[in-house]
C-alpha cells in the first residue's frame, strides 16, 4: 500500500528510522554508547553497534506498526537474519582490527503507533 491507495502515510524507511531512533535513545538512557548507526558492507547492514560495560553489542532493531497479524517484531528475526547479522558483525570486527572482544547480539522490538510514536519497546539481551 502507498499513500495514494490509502495505506500508511509513512514509508518503510521512515518507520525503520523512527524505530532505530527510539532504540538509540533507549539504549543511551541505559548506559550504552552508540558507536555506529546503519553500518553497511557487502554482506549486509548492522542497525546499531554500541559499547556497553566491557563489551561490544550488535543490536538488530525490528519494528511493526498496526496489526500483529504478520507476527511480532521479534518474531521476524529468523535464522537467515541471524546468520547475516553475525557475518556482517565479523566483517565489522575485522575492518576495525578488533581481535579480542566480548560481543553480544541484542534485538530491540518496537511497536509503532500510526503517527510513528512508540507504543512499546522490548529489549532482548543476548537474543542470539
Select from 1.10.287.610, 3.40.1350.10, 3.40.605.10, 3.40.190.10 the CATH code of 3-124: 3.40.1350.10
Q: What is the mean pLDDT of residues 47-64?
A: 96
In this predicted structure, the answer to whether residue 5 has a pLDDT above a threshold of 70 is no
Model confidence pLDDT, tens digit, residues 6-26: 556 899 999 999 999 999 999
At residue 59, the pLDDT reads 98
Q: What is the pTM of this model?
A: 0.88
Task: Give DSSP secondary structure letters for 66-85.
Answer: S--TT--TGGG--HHHHHHH
At residue 3, the pLDDT reads 43
Q: 87 in helix, strand or coil?
A: helix
Integer Cα distance of 58 and 48 in angstroms:
6
C-alpha grid cell for residue 23? 532504540
Least confident span in 29-38, 70-79, 83-92: 70-79
C-alpha grid cell for residue 62? 525490528
Listed in sequence order, the residues at least 6 apart from 8 whose beta carbon sits closer than 8 Å to its beta carbon are 1, 15, 65, 66, 114
Amino acid at each position: 500500500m502507498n499513500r495514494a491507495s490509502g495505506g500508511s502515510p509513512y514509508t518503510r524507511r521512515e518507520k525503520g528510522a523512527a524505530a532505530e531512533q527510539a532504540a538509540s535513545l533507549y539504549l543511551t538512557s541505559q548506559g550504552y554508547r552508540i558507536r555506529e548507526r546503519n553500518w553497511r558492507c557487502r554482506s549486509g547492514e548492522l542497525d546499531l553497534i554500541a559499547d556497553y560495560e566491557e563489551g561490544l553489542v550488535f543490536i538488530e532493531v525490528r519494528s511493526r506498526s498496526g496489526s500483529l497479524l504478520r507476527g511480532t517484531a521479534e518474531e521476524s528475526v529468523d535464522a537467515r537474519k541471524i546468520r547475516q547479522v553475525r557475518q556482517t558483525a565479523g566483517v565489522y570486527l575485522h575492518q576495525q582490527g578488533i581481535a579480542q572482544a566480548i560481543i553480544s547480539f541484542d534485538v530491540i522490538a518496537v511497536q509503532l503507533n500510526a503517527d510513528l510514536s512508540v507504543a512499546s519497546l522490548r529489549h532482548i539481551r543476548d537474543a542470539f
